[in-house]
Amino acid sequence: MDLRLTASNVKKVFNRRTIFAGISFSMTSGQTLLVSGRNGSGKSTLVKIISDVLTPSDGEITLHLPRGSTKDGRFPFVGLVAPYLQVYDEFSALENLDISLRLRGLAARPERALDLLERVGLSGRTNDIVRTFSSGMKQRVKYAMALMHEPAVLLLDEPMANLDAEGMAIVRSTMEEQCTKGILIVATNDLTDLEHFDYQVDLNVVR
């Protein structure tokens, strides 16, 4: 079976308040999903559930892989870039990438780390401590970290946040590349700069 991500009647409740309910979709490799909705509609919550860092109150998300399917433990196959995701700012950009791979239980790949840092425009700052970086540069480090393990599913929550024109171009090329390799999910309110998506979950409607 090829790569496939399915959501069945996903519901999330916080403190007796239903954030969203009845979210279902199914997508395969090469397809894209847009998650939209006003502030507080639960875009980030849905992204976290798909990423496997939050548990849905009801329903389930299943990632079907060529070697079998997994309902729990999807995170090894997911890359996430989001404003609320922080990097370790006492380490350098290169060390952060190394840590991200080792925490996943994978062997270090210094060449790939250097390639990715060059790709996100940080080749001159690889050994600088992240604490000294601007918010846009930290966002670029997050992109490199999310791509280090070549994720089957790439989730981008507010992908253009803090980025300049050059950074936005990097994001667009990253999104295009992911479409050729796996699944791309983008959560944003800023629809002005985004290309065509195969599917859309509008949380203003499904609530």
Partner 1 sequence: MSSGDTYRPSWGRAALAVFLKDWHSELRTRYAISALGMFIVTTISIVLFSLGSEGAPIEALSGMLWVVIFFSAMSGLSRTFVAEEERGTAMTLQLHAPSSAVFAGKLLFNGVLVIALTILSAILYAGFINGFVIKTYSIFILTIAFGSLGFAAAATIIAAIIARASTKGTLYPVLSFPILLPLLLTVINATRLAAEGALLEEAFGEFQILISYIVVVVTISSLVFDYVWKD
Any contact of residue 89 with partner 1 (CB under 8 A)? yes
Residue 189 tokens, joined: 């309110």
Confirm or reject binding of residue 157 to partner 1 (CB under 8 A). no
Bridge partners of 202? 36
CB of 201 to partner 1, least distance (A): 21
Q: Is residue 86 close enough to count as binding partner 1 by CB under 8 A?
A: yes
Q: Which of residues 9-38 bind partner 1 (CB under 8 A)?
A: 29
Q: Looking at 33-41, 89-97, 118-126, 185-193, which segment touches partner 1 (CB under 8 A)? A: 89-97
Half-sphere exposure of 37 (CA within 13 A, CB side): 23
Q: Which stretch binds partner 1 (CB under 8 A): 31-39, 76-84, 118-126, 167-175?
A: 76-84
Contact between 133 and partner 1 (CB under 8 A)? no
For the four alpha carbons of 135, 200, 20 and 151, in that order, the dihedral sign comes to negative
C-beta closer to partner 1: residue 41 or 45: 45
Nearest to partner 1 of 52, 158 (CB atom)? 52
| Residue in the structure block whose two tokens are 């290309």 | 195
Point out which residues bind partner 1 (CB under 8 A). 2-3, 29, 48, 51-55, 65-67, 73, 75-78, 80, 84-91, 99-100, 102-107, 149-152, 181-182
